[in-house]
Structures are given as structure tokens and as C-alpha cells.
Structure 1
Amino acid sequence: MPKLFNIYCDESCHLENDDIPVMVLGAVWCPVDKVREISERVRELKRQHELLSPTELRQNNAEPFEIKWTKVSRSKADFYLSLVDYFFDDDDLHFRGVIIDKTILDHEIRHQSHGTWYYKMLFTLLKPIIDPEQRYHIYLDIKDTRSEEKKRKLQEVLQNSKFDRVGFIIKRLQQIRSHESEIMQLTDLFIGAVGYCNRICWGDLADRECRNEGKIAIINRIQKRSGKDLTQSTWLLESKVNLLRWEPKELDDEQSA
């Protein structure tokens, strides 16, 4: 019998002209029947580290602290390190990221828009994750007013691919807000770490930003636990932390493909 998986997709610095050279697309996935267990474990870690909002201190039913790379600091490092360790200790959790140097993009020579290329990159992110023998729910983080368009176009790309012409493999494609899903929040954390690590290597961060000890500690922990360099591609079939440092194909290769 096919198994059903949830895939939680997020992105960082995906705009064409935001003056940030590093773009990261990422996804965390797990079996659907493990989602509740994983989410409860992450919420328990939040409680253990007393990460409660002012509202939550007054109301037991308020929204819990939301995991975000931008919130990482030295004072919260222990919590985020515990999340990283939990990710690596749980065999049901997996991450894939695509690292892109936007300074080498030349959409004009390939007669494409940044938007068209973006959906190609989303497909590049998902392609190694999707097994045609299994079934998937894909969740996209709602970020802006174009989220509905992103959902529609990704659905077109997937259905036009050899994977899922009749929509049999991808059972659901849905937008959600990150505060609704602890697993989507994990995706934000990991793509943030990958993007930050690459920006350090490329000299794109100010000295003050590079001295964020909490963020450096998380990057070091991910690299230690995974045995991977977050600036380099991994083996294509790597299942726990899978990375692709994307490079454009030669035009001759694209035309013959």
C-alpha cells in the first residue's frame, strides 16, 4: 500500500532584486501519521524552555511561540539547539534544501521570467523527494498576496510533469500560515541556517550579523550532526539532510534535454 507523506515548503530571499545574493528553497517532510507526535514534541520543547508570549502568559489557549530563524539569539540558543537535536534523533523527519546564487542568473538569455524560473526551482526542490509509488500532501507557507498564484502554478508544474499528470500522487496542495504548523517552522529554521551559512561564506553579512553566537551555534550543530557542509551539495539520495547547490545548465544542454 502507498504511504502518505506531508511536505512543508518554504523559501528565503526569493525575490529577484532584493540585493541578497543567496536564495534558499527548502522542505521538511515526514509520514502523515507522525505529524501529531512530532508537533506535540516540538510544543513540549517550547514549554520546557518557557518560550511563551505575553498573551500566552495570561491565556493558556493563546498561540505558542513561533520558531523563526530571525528570532534566533544567544539567549534562545539552547532551545533551538534542542530542536536541531530532536530533528536528527527522529528518523521520520527529513530536510532538503536548494541553494542558489542569484548573481549568476541570466533570465534574458534563457527567454524566461524570474517567476517561470522560480517554479522550475520549486520542482527541482521537490523532484528527489517525491516517490511515484507514494502519496503526498504539499503545504506552502503563505507569505504575500501572490501565494494563491504560487499554489496554482506549482500545481500546473507538478501535473504537467511526468510525475503526476492526473493528480494521483499529489493528493493535496495547500497554503498554510507558519504559526499553524510546528513542522513548517522547522523548515524556516533549516533554510535560515543554510542561507546564513552561505552568506557568511560569500561575505554578504556585516560583522555584527556574523557575530550572532546563537545562529553560529545552530549552523555548527547541524553540520556536526549531519556530517555535511551547508554550502555544498550532498549525495542526491541523501535522505536526512539533502542539499543541492544549484548551477544553471549550459544552453546547449537545455536545448538537447
Structure 2
Amino acid sequence: MTTAINRDDIIDIYCDESGTDSGRYLVIGGLWVKRLYHPIILRQLTAFRTKYELTREIKWAKISKGYFNQYKDLLDLYFNCWNRVRFYCIVVEKQKVDWHTYHHNDHELGFYKFYRLLIRYRMSGEYRYYLWADQRNNRVPNRLHTLQCYANMDCTKHIGVSPLVHVQEINSRMSDIMQLSDVLIGAVRACYCEDISGEAKVEFCNYLQSRLGVSSLSEIENKRDALFNIWKWRPKTNMP
């Protein structure tokens, strides 16, 4: 008989990515939310939408001068949930990846190996994890379930449990938390690429950095317990 999992012991991971097709950096990341706090965060996001009469999708790409105050308020909402949600991402400088040796020149395979790195090193044995990933058009089917299998194998070896109990692709339009992930990931990649198009996006990144107490997102170190964590991947020492 399967034992029910207490929601206090569940963490939902809402993952997205930026830079898979072009640009210097690939960023994979998302929001880790204890299921216990889900209703609180969703109520705040619903109130945010109601305040601005928003029906469209919230996205990094849509930040503009006319919508800056809305996205600034969204960032404030995130920081008001600071003790209930964590943001983790991995930043990969693509030209430093040995695609041939480690990924058989398969960039899709490499993408999911970096994905696994991020997920694996953020899981512990005390929780069970549900991964909700933004939809992707993959060449090879079942990539996400393969990620689950290998991540659990790694965890079983190191911590004695298989904590990733569910993986599923979802349409980001159906999840406000996923959309918030998109905004934060887009900001991280833009700051690393130093290629921020539009004054509103520059102001948004500056405001994010000021809320975090740094002059640049590149100053943020990979610390396991940090509430806003950026892991700058380095070759050889961090090979997937």
C-alpha cells in the first residue's frame, strides 16, 4: 500500500530556462515552493492580477516602460514571500562546455544534464519533490522522465532516497508561479550577458539587484541555503 505524502513534506519546483538557442549563457532555474505555502502565494499572485486587471501571461520579454510599475510590484510580491519560496538557477557559459566529450555533440542531452545538476544538488532526503517544467519541443521523447530516473539514482547513491516523485511538463500560461520563474530567469541571463534591451528591463534588473543588496547578480555565490541562489557552472570541476 502506498503511503500518502504529507503536504508539509512536499516541495514543488517550477522550472524554466533561457538561452537555449542563442547567446553566450544558458540559464536553467526556477522557484522551490513548499506546498504548504502554495495557497498563500497563489492568493497574492491572484490579487496582483486583479489589481492590474491582467489577463495576459507574465513574462520577462514583456517588461516595457508602460508595464514597469507592474513588474516592479511583482518583484516586491516575490520578496514579500521571501521566507516561503526560494529561487535557484544554474548559469552555463556555453562556449566553455565540451559538448563532444561529455554530451556526444547533443545539445539537448547536455541541456538535461545541466538540468539534472541543478535539481540533484538542491534536493534533500527530508522532502519529496514535484517538478513542473515548462513545455519544450524535444527531439528525443521522455527527456524529463529520464532526468527523474538519473536524479533519483544520484540521490539514492548519496542520500539513500529517491526524492523526486513526480515530473510533468506544463504550459506556463497555466501557472503564475512558472511565469514568475520566467521573469527572474530572464533577468539573471540578461545581467550575465550584459545585453539588456530596453530601459525598463535595465531598471528592473537594477531594482532586483538593490533588493538583493548587490551591485551585480554575478556577485551572488552558490550557497545551498540562500534564498536567491545563482550557481555559475565551471568546467572540469562541475561536469554533469
Q: TM-score, normalised by structure 2?
A: 0.86
Aligned residue for 1:12?
18
Percent of pairs with identical residues: 27
Aligned residue for 2:212?
226
Q: 1: CA distance between counterparts of 2:103 and 2:142?
A: 21
Aligned residue for 1:176?
170
Aligned residue for 1:185?
179
Aligned residue for 1:61?
none
Residues 176/220 of structure 1: CA separation in 2 closer, same or farther (3 Å cut): same
SS of residue paired to 2:167:
strand
- 2:39 aligned with 1:36: yes
SS of residue paired to 2:12:
strand
SS of residue paired to 2:208:
helix
Structural mapping, 1:194-233, within 5 Å = 194-200=188-194, 205=195, 210=197, 212-228=198-214, 229-233=216-220
Structural mapping, 1:28-107, within 5 Å = 28-51=31-54, 64-90=55-81, 91-107=83-99
Deviation at 1:10, TM superposition (A): 0.6
Q: 1: CA distance between counterparts of 2:93 and 2:221?
A: 17
Alpha-carbon displacement from aligned partner over 1:33-67 (angstroms, at most 9, x marks no partner): 2222212211211221233xxxxxxxxxxxx3211
Deviation at 1:139, TM superposition (A): 0.5
Coordinate RMSD, CA, aligned: 2.5
2:120 touches 2:151 (CA, 8 Å); kept in 1? no
Deviation at 1:148, TM superposition (A): 4.9
Compare CA radii of gyration and give the structure with the larger one: 1
Aligned residue for 2:231?
244
- 2:132 aligned with 1:139: yes
Deviation at 1:88, TM superposition (A): 1.1
Residues 146/183 of structure 1: CA separation in 2 closer, same or farther (3 Å cut): farther
Deviation at 1:170, TM superposition (A): 1.7
Deviation at 1:119, TM superposition (A): 2.1
Q: Which runs of 5+ in 2 are unaligned?
A: 1-5
1:159 touches 1:166 (CA, 8 Å); kept in 2? no
Q: TM-score, normalised by structure 1?
A: 0.80
State which of 84, 88, 100 in structure 2 corresponds to 1:108: 100
- 2:14 aligned with 1:23: no
Q: 2: CA distance between counterparts of 1:169 and 1:102?
A: 29
- 2:113 aligned with 1:127: no
Q: 2: CA distance between counterparts of 1:81 and 1:40?
A: 18
What is the aligned residue count?
Answer: 230
Q: 2: CA distance between counterparts of 1:189 and 1:99?
A: 15
Aligned residue for 2:110?
117
Q: Which runs of 5+ in 1 are unaligned?
A: 52-63
